[in-house]
């Protein structure tokens, strides 16, 4: 696995959510609209499975609208789930969240049965920014670096509408390799957990098909067909050359070029881009799950042999042929 991180405060957050979920009516799961599938925390899905969920595709201003629509349709077709897209410039965000949550839990409301909503998301998904804008004051302190722990907070969005905040949380083991790269490209994973060049090459490998025109325009590359035909290494080197990421002797500094590509993606310099469609993500997930199951079978076999070797359990009888 190329992307690895130490989940740090994960256990504490898990505990907080497990306790809190008992008195929660709706869960808001904040997703990154540029990578909705990859930014969904599978551990969170397990912890909150019993509650209706509002999926909020945040940072929609940076995502490809032609892809946001199918993602919304995908989530809206799931039972007990509703989806909306937002960004920090949305002045009606609070009202849209309140309306969607009320639709998911119509029996809640009024002072006797106030709506209790838990808001969750991975680091850097824009949760603090959204909460700050919802309460129009600095109720949630924006974290400087992905993975900073914050205590749970309660925010009133209306007299009978409480929002409980949780710390941004990643999960310990990603089984979808592509998700690791997409999370790293988006800035959800701390810098020490990945190699810039590897992430940039994966990013270019994806972008050069649906978004070759963006690469061509941003880096003033030859024609679009040529961009798609280049290998990832060639593309990174060419971008480095065009942008003057050079080292002594005039050779391209690929580390610098990689940082440049990642930064351009993160800051929207490549335009509104979405790194996965629902169909693509479903395929990646199925492949990741298959690989994970095979890995588990191998691990179990090694463990069984170890136990037999050290006579902790008897050798199973051989089958007659």
Q: Which residues lie near ligand G4P (CB under 6 A)?
A: 58-59, 61-62, 87-88, 121, 123-129, 142-143, 168
C-alpha span between 205 and 280 (Å, rounded): 14
| Contact criterion met (CB below 8 Å) for 20 and 152 | yes
Q: State which residue, 140 or 230, has the beta carbon closest to ligand G4P.
A: 140
Question: What is the rounded distance in angstroms from the CA atom of residue 141 to the CA atom of residue 150?
Answer: 9
Smaller CB separation from ligand G4P, 148 or 158 = 148
Q: How far is the CB of 161 from ligand G4P (least distance, A)?
A: 20
Write down the least CB distance from residue 187 to ligand G4P, Å.
7
Which C-beta is closer to ligand G4P: that of 203 or that of 230?
Answer: 203
Nearer to ligand G4P, 58 or 277 (CB): 58
d(CA 263, CA 261): 5
Closest residue to ligand G4P, judged by C-beta, is: 126
Nearer to ligand G4P (CB atom), residue 26 or residue 146: 146
Residue 238 or 264: the one with the smaller Cβ distance to ligand G4P is 264
Structural contact between residues 54 and 84, judged by C-beta atoms closer than 8 angstroms:
yes
């Amino acid at each position: 696995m190329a992307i690895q991180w130490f989940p740090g405060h994960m256990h504490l957050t898990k505990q907080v959510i497990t306790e809190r979920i008992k008195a929660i009516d709706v869960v808001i799961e904040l997703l990154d609209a540029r990578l909705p599938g990859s930014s969904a925390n599978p551990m969170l899905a397990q912890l909150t499975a019993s509650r209706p969920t509002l999926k909020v595709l945040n940072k929609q201003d940076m995502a490809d609208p032609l892809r946001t629509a199918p993602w919304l349709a995908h989530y809206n077709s799931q039972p007990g789930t509703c989806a909306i897209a937002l960004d920090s410039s949305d002045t009606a965000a609070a009202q849209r969240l309140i309306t969607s949550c009320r639709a998911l839990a119509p029996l809640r409301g009024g002072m006797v049965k106030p709506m209790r909503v838990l808001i969750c998301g991975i680091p850097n998904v824009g949760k603090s920014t959204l909460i700050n804008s919802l309460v129009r004051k600095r109720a949630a302190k924006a974290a400087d670096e992905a993975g900073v722990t914050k205590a749970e907070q309660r925010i009133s969005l209306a007299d009978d509408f409480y929002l409980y905040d949780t710390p941004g949380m990643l999960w310990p083991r990603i089984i979808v390799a592509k998700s690791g790269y997409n999370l790293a490209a988006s800035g959800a994973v701390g810098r020490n957990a990945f190699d810039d060049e590897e992430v940039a090459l994966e990013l270019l490998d994806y972008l050069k098909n649906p978004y070759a025109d963006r690469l061509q325009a941003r880096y003033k590359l030859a024609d679009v067909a040529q961009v798609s035909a280049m290998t990832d290494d060639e593309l990174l080197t060419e971008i480095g050359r065009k942008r003057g990421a050079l080292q002594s002797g005039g050779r391209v500094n690929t580390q610098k070029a990689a940082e440049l590509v990642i930064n351009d993606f993160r800051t929207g310099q490549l335009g509104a881009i979405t790194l996965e469609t629902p169909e693509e993500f479903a395929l990646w997930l199925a492949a990741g799950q298959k690989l994970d199951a095979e890995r588990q079978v191998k691990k179990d076999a090694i463990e069984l042999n170890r136990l037999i070797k050290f006579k902790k359990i008897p050798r199973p009888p051989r089958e007659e042929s």
